Amino acid sequence: MTVARKKAAHAQRGKAENAHDALVLLTAEHNEIDKLAREYERVRKTADSVEKGKAALRLCHALEGYAAIKHEVFYPAAHAVLAGKDKELLGKAAVKHDGIQDLIEKIEAMSADDPSFDSTVTVLFEQAGQLMKQEEEVLFPRLRHSHLDLLGTGERMAARRTELGTAPIDRERVRQARKVMSGR
């Protein structure tokens, strides 16, 4: 377990000094996404298509919230303080997020009974995992030593997370979720 992951685990339990540190919050999101991916793998092997669909949709929802926070708050703040190759890393990460979003949309439009459902979800969390690993190993250390206001950015990210978590239910999303779980 990396130092960042340990700090994030402490932050989730309320023991961290800087629970609103942007990098700690993102790493906590990484931990949650990893947990949901492992849950999907477990359910995929043993449960029916409804449970499999629910697990996949939970993973997709977590990735969508994570991407929204990064695109709306984190990336603009990081972009303002990085230069050169470090700024290129942000651009590459944004492109990878676009690919992940395409996979999410594909998963949300297909039935859990579809023969390619499992492989599509697997590719989704493999790509997300590669991106998160790259961020933790390359981007986060550079940002930790930059002039980025980690606490201020983290507080804005936490506020946005709360907004996303309390947004009204989108009826179209509910219909899509029913389609995924029902096998139609």
| pLDDT tier at 49, thresholds 50, 70, 90 | confident
Name the nearest CA neighbour of 62 among 24, 34, 94, 92. Answer: 34
Q: Side chain identity at 132, as an amino acid letter?
A: M
Residue position matching structure tokens 């989704």: 124
**pLDDT, tens digit, 9 for 90 and up, residues 34-48:** 999 999 999 988 878
92-128 per-residue burial string, b: 16 or more CB within 10 A, e: under 16: ebeebbeebbebbebbbebebbbeebbeebebbbebb
What is the reported pLDDT for 11? Answer: 47
Residue written as tokens 């991407």?
67
Give per-residue pLDDT as tens, 96-155.
Answer: 999 999 999 999 989 888 899 999 999 999 999 999 999 999 999 999 999 999 999 999
Contact 6, 138 (CB under 8 A): no
Q: What is the pLDDT of residues 56-113, one digit of tens each?
A: 999 999 999 999 999 999 999 999 998 888 888 888 988 999 999 999 999 998 988 8
CA–CA dist 161, 155 (Å, integer): 10
Dihedral of the alpha carbons of 20, 77, 98, 178, in degrees to the nearest 10: 40
Residue 182 has pLDDT above 70, yes or no: no
Q: Which domains does the chain have, with CATH numbers?
A: 3-182 (1.20.120)
